A and B are shown apart, each in its own frame.
Chain A
Amino acid sequence: MTMNRRAFLGTSAALTAALGTPMIARAQATPRVVVVGGGSGGATAARYIARDSAGAIDVTLIEPQRVYHTCYFGNLYLGGFFDYDDLGHSYDGLAANYGINVVHDWAVGVDRDAKTVSLASGASVPYDRLVLSPGIDFVDGSVQGWSVSAQGRMPHAYKGGTQVELLRAQIAAMPQGGTFAMVAPPNPYRCPPGPYERISMVAHYLRENNPTAKILLVDPKESFSKQGLFEDGWNRHYSGMVTRIGPDMGGNAIEVDPAAMTVTIDGVVEKVDVCNVIPGQRAGQIAFAAGITDGNWAPVSAYDMSSKVDPNITVLGDAAAQGAMPKSGFSANSQAKVAANAIVAALTGSRAFPARYSNTCWSLLDTDDGIKVGATYEASDTGIVSIDSFVSQIGETADVRAATYRESLDWYRAITSDMFV
């Protein structure tokens, strides 16, 4: 018995030496990673996996849009600080520079047993590891009277692209002295300071173009991200323009009528000129199709962002229930790098390093008045936990605020390079 085994091991070792490259010789094919969703999580993951594996992994990115428009900085476009075209990014670099197979199609289903993703076109794409980074969808019935079919009248503008253009056009068409209303979302949602930066940017636009207009912010939440900083900014820059209706005043008991363009707050009907409805949110549809969700989101391990339901699936960004990180593009980009390292290590035997995450969210209040909040994070058995944090302070000098804004512009160019170049 012992002899046989030793003889067998000896033969095997000789065979290995003769072949020289046992892994490749033995493998049926190059391992395949399929990434669904080409935003901050998916594009970053595809780029890092392809780059770090240097051809040892076959990477396919499935994304319906040919040009990706970032959701972040969409508010700066509304305020007139950023050109719409500058929000758009092509996938050409990922294909040309890293050999990523970019497929412009909708992923509509996942067969976890067969390990395939089905596409709207009818094709089926096999994977060894699947990365889902689908962003958000909206919770049906979250705002009474609103559904996705009403997004032409009352845009959400909470996914990048045409919805943001539509909202900008509606704001520009407001009558002098008209009312812009926003229905803010309940927690948790994408980009915690986003709705409030949007209020700041709309106020900026209106102050310059429609100074007698009013802003009505209807909010189901008691408090929100960087609240003191935002309210201080609104008082300093847009005094008297912004009215926030919190839950104590009925902000959690509202109904909208897209046909009549009204918002009913605690039974009182308000006629408005523009109504930006940002509904409650959940993971993108493909996470539900894959059967890896619990409630509205897909739970993941904090150590490598792998699904708690299926270890062959990784979930990144807004769609993941991971713990303490806010749902942001920065977070998704950070998570993607941890996941890419884990996936490349698992498929090629390269070194795996401990998970480490970070996030910063910049917001613009008015010209050269930027603020930020951020934290560093690590993995734990109970989820991602924050280990250190910072936030801008009320009363900072104009120089500090201007530097914070310039820093956000640098960050935008850096993260989009980190995703696409």
Chain B
Amino acid sequence: MRSARALISALVLAASAATSSPLLAEGDPAQGEALYRPCRACHMLGDGAVHRVGPHLNGIIDRVIGAVPGYDFSDDLANAGAEGRVWDADALDRFLAAPRDYFPRTRMVFRGIRDEQDRLDLIAYMLAEGGRSDSAVMDAANIAIDPEIAAILAIAGDVPYGEYLSSECTACHRDSGGSDIPTIKGLAPSAFIAGMVDYRNGTREHQVMNTVARRLGDEELAALAAYFARTE
């Protein structure tokens, strides 16, 4: 009963958003391309996009919030999706303005974009590159795991070793998270490993994290992932 209602409201909202989104027409995707650059550290968009630290953003426009398969969303996003809410242009605009005001428990470490036109440009870019939720790039075949991450996920993590290694993390990462330094507690292994691999090979840049990650081998990443997945 509850899920049926959620499904119906999702469909209604999706339909209304798709037909009446004046916000979508106001953005300039060319301007949005540069604004997307910081997002790229965590979110893939376009052909071949897969989940990394954050979920891929293909078909984000009108997609049900927190519901794309293969990604472990925070409760706030998953609950929003269960209630049938979708990423229409208005929801995206409000979220991008101040992510933690909109979804206080989101794991996304991003302070937000103050300028409204910048937000509209960014949304326009995401629509141009990733299409709507019903578009072809949303093909399930695209949701694959990066082989380097898959190899680490296949290792059975040594939890006590991971707990010891985690003491290096807790010097900066609080359980409750900070304004810029996120919590790692309870992070899904796939998300943790994807993030650390990106830091290790330098595709995601941060001086401290790159230096920390460079000395972590696959065994260490698997141990840490196994430990953090157990913390709550």
**For residue B212, which residues in chain A have a CB less than 8 angstroms away from its CB?**
358, 376
A396 to B129, CA, bound (A): 30
Is B170 in contact with chain A by the CB < 8 A criterion? Answer: yes
CB distance from A30 to the nearest CB of B (A): 22
Q: Provided the pairs A406-B180, A410-B180 are in contact, do residues A374 and B168 lie with their beta carbons within 8 angstroms?
A: no
B174 touches A414 (CB 8 A): yes
Chain B CB within 10 A, most for which of A341, A353, A389, A406: A353
Counting chain B residues whose Cβ lies within 8 A of the other chain, the interface size class is 20 to 34
CB distance from B58 to the nearest CB of A (A): 28
How many residue pairs bridge A and B at CB < 8 Å?
Answer: 79
**For residue B214, which residues in chain A have a CB less than 8 angstroms away from its CB?**
376, 388
Is B161 in contact with chain A by the CB < 8 A criterion? Answer: yes
Q: Provided the pairs A358-B168, A372-B207, A374-B208 are in contact, do residues A388 and B173 lie with their beta carbons within 8 angstroms?
A: no
B-contact bits for A23-61, CB 8 A (1 contact / 0 none):
000000000000000000000000010000000000000
Q: Provided the pairs A351-B160, A372-B207 are in contact, do residues A414 and B179 lie with their beta carbons within 8 angstroms?
A: no
A372 to B171, CA, bound (A): 15
Q: Provided the pairs A374-B207, A388-B214, A390-B211 are in contact, do residues A418 and B170 lie with their beta carbons within 8 angstroms?
A: yes
A413 touches B174 (CB 8 A): yes
A374 to B206, CA, bound (A): 12
Pick the 10 closest A-B CB pairs, nearest first: A410-B178, A410-B181, A337-B167, A390-B207, A414-B174, A353-B164, A406-B180, A411-B172, A414-B172, A418-B170
Question: Given A387-B215, A390-B207, A414-B170, list of 16 further CB < 8 A pairs?
Answer: A337-B167, A353-B161, A356-B215, A358-B212, A360-B208, A372-B208, A390-B208, A390-B210, A391-B207, A407-B180, A409-B179, A410-B179, A415-B172, A417-B174, A417-B175, A418-B171
28 contacts between A and B (CB under 8 A): A48-B167, A333-B171, A334-B171, A337-B164, A337-B168, A353-B161, A353-B164, A356-B165, A356-B215, A358-B171, A360-B208, A374-B207, A375-B211, A388-B215, A389-B211, A390-B207, A391-B207, A403-B180, A407-B172, A407-B180, A410-B174, A410-B178, A410-B181, A413-B174, A413-B178, A414-B171, A417-B174, A417-B175
